[in-house]
Amino acid sequence: MAICTVYTTQSLNSTCSISTPTKTHLGFHHKQVVFYSPGKKASKRGAYTCNPYVITCAAAGGTVVIGLAADSGCGKSTFMRRLTSVFGGAAEPPKGGNPDSNTLISDTTTVICLDDYHSLDRYGRKEKKVTALDPRANDFDLMFEQVKALKDGVAVEKPIYNHVTGLLDPPEFIKPPKILVIEGLHPMYDQRVRDLLDFSIYLDISNEVKFAWKIQRDMAERGHSLESIKASIEARKPDFDAYIDPQKQYADAVIEVLPTQLIPDDNEGRVLRVKLIMKEGVKYFNPVYLFDEGSTISWIPCGRKLTCSYPGIKFAYGPDAYFGNEVSVLEMDGQFDRLDELIYVESHLSNLSTKFYGEVTQQMLKHSDFPGSSNGTGLFQTIVGLKIRDLYEQILASKAAAPVQATKAH
């Protein structure tokens, strides 16, 4: 057995993990490894290989953790693609790993899917007659332990739920990223996990819309019949209402997707009314507003500067209450005919956390082929992505400033 010596300027006890090809040890001391701190070679962050070990140390300031909750087929993956694009760089599954991994890694972000914490595989759930939404089919102790470890900058060996086979595959090694997104059915269900989140989002898709989206995808891409899709939605409904839907009360931002009110008795579900519900008083998060912060506004932007075909576009903005919390709500009903004209709408929105004029429009044009690009789902997902970048930068700045302040205080 090799003895590894790592020199670092930071204490390794809480910020590093060590893994052999078969196991990850969180924290220290592992008996074959000697650590010196402070040492000769300064390193704030990185993975060190000292055969057969990989030693991973946290970024200064730790990992920012974002939670994204929604039912299956409600646009989480689409949202994730918009979010990672805001940070630049492509998000890909871990290189050389399990081809059925659910994880997506980019330079800044790592997105892990909480389906990986299913404690019962497809066959176990069938035998015990529980759905994947039931907390009894999920390992919240492990979820908490591993999200906490990653937040503290410690790498983990995370299980993989294989959606192709329905089985639990051997774990994959996940290094602590700058931003960790945990997406899935239950990011806000367990209070211990919820308390680790720096920001949380809930995608609230009304039943009518969820049904239309699921039919589109599961019939076209997964070969399911209309009847089996209906049956699966019905079978999941009681557990969805009991365990998934209540999480929206904890979310810092909710994107609610409803049928349009612009077409009387619409049953096509093509035109959508989308609300962005933003909690007030959340640290590092200033809600977006239309025209005048705190006022109640109704705006039809169609006319000379925005082309609108039937049934048009209507925006609304104002203060409200949501599960007893003070919120600001921005609403868009209808869809854009020409995305390049979105700049007109963008110029009337404030607190967008853009880095330059027109960044929202640029992002929307860049991904015009993503679902929801012509309506409020794409617009609000893009805006939330920009707010998360801003939140991350503020947290980083506050951590960087902290030691300076401490010095000043003396």
Ligand X SMILES: O=C(CO)[C@H](O)[C@H](O)COP(=O)(O)O
For the stretch 259-266, contacts whose Cβ atoms lie closer than 8 Å and that sit 24 or more positions apart, written own/partner, are 259/206, 259/208, 259/209, 260/311, 260/333, 260/334, 261/333, 262/311, 262/312, 262/314, 262/333, 262/334, 263/311
Q: Which of 10, 24, 63, 72 binds ligand X (CB under 6 A)?
A: 72
Q: SS3 of 55, please? A: strand
Max CA pair span of the chain: 75
Structure tokens at 162: 């294989």
Q: Give residue number: closest CB to ligand ATP.
A: 372
Of ligand X, ligand ATP, none, which one sits near residue 159, judging by CB under 5 to 8 A according to partner kind?
none
Binding residues for ligand X restricted to 286-345, rule: CB under 6 A: none
Check residue 180 and report its DSSP letter: E
Of ligand X, ligand ATP, none, which one sits near residue 376, judging by CB under 5 to 8 A according to partner kind?
none
Binding mask 140-179 for ligand X (x = CB under 6 A): -----------------------x--x-------------
Q: SS3 of 297, please? A: strand
Binding residues for ligand ATP, rule CB under 6 A, total 14
Q: Which of 132, 209, 288, 360 binds ligand X (CB under 6 A)?
A: 132
Cα–Cα distance, 210 to 192 (Å, whole number): 29
Instruction: By CB under 6 A, tell whether 217 contacts ligand ATP.
Output: yes
Q: Least Å distance between CB 161 and ligand X?
A: 6
Instruction: By CB under 6 A, tell whether 115 contacts ligand X.
Output: yes
Q: Least Å distance between CB 246 and ligand X?
A: 16
Residue 61 vs 166, nearer CB to ligand ATP: 166
Instruction: By CB under 6 A, tell whether 185 contacts ligand X.
Output: yes
Instruction: By CB under 6 A, tell whether 222 contacts ligand X.
Output: no
Q: Kindly list the distances between the CA atom of residue 33 and the CA atoms of 2, 4, 8, 30, 53, in Å, as whole numbers in the listed order.
A: 8, 5, 14, 6, 9
Cα–Cα distance, 389 to 177 (Å, whole number): 14
Of ligand X, ligand ATP, none, which one sits near residue 222, judging by CB under 5 to 8 A according to partner kind?
none
Binding mask 353-392 for ligand ATP (x = CB under 6 A): ------------------xx----x---------------
Cβ-based neighbours of 383, under 8 Å, separated by 6 or more: 276, 288, 349, 352, 360
Residue 185 vs 233, nearer CB to ligand X: 185
Q: Least Å distance between CB 213 and ligand ATP?
A: 4
Cα–Cα distance, 13 to 408 (Å, whole number): 27
- How far apart are the two ends of the chain, measured CA to CA in Å? 47
Cα–Cα distance, 331 to 347 (Å, whole number): 16
| Among 4-12, 73-81, 147-155, 320-328, the segment contacting ligand ATP (CB under 6 A) | 73-81
Binding site for ligand X (CB under 6 A): 72, 115, 122, 132, 163, 166, 185
Binding site for ligand ATP (CB under 6 A): 70, 72-78, 213, 216-217, 371-372, 377
